[in-house]
Structure 1
């Protein structure tokens, strides 16, 4: 059962989620995949597929991105190598920040 929506969302965010859901639904039906087949391939429930396709905001972004990738909806760039280059550029930009701002890469010893 989905959690009740108690958080207010912007109109832009709601419309973006609805549009992405519709794109995923259209791509799934064009590929001839049933909800059950798409859910199985993504490793999620059929109910979550329905919620994603309905544009509900409480869905896990990982599940939405995985389902979009499975049905062939491009999220950023149609060419995967372009996405990889953008990601590398963003990561290199973060290395320019002072160490204080960056995430720590040291392993935390929590075995007391």
Structure 2
């Protein structure tokens, strides 16, 4: 009976050793830096670094664009105020009564009867 118990104990130890060996090989392949999850983690880490750099660049560009847009808006508001003042000043001018509105406002050139068009 002891002999059978010893055989079963050795078989169990060999089975556990084989299981540990297979598990060890799977774990090494799993954490391999070229093919396994280790490679995926390394790639993701480098992508995170690249994305952080791209985000910083985008933030700087957005900040610069925002500043430029604020300057342009201020200039446009100033121009609009000046235009409003000019239009208001035009309303204060007396109407031009010297020439009828149907005549051209620019220089008029006399046409000769012999001119050919």
Q: If the TM-score is normalised by the length of the shorter chain, which range does it land in?
A: under 0.3
Pick the structure with greater CA Rg: 2
Question: Comparing both structures, which one devotes a greater share of its residues to helix?
Answer: 2
**Bigger relative contact order (CA 8 A; separation at least 6):** 1
Q: TM-score, normalised by structure 1?
A: 0.21
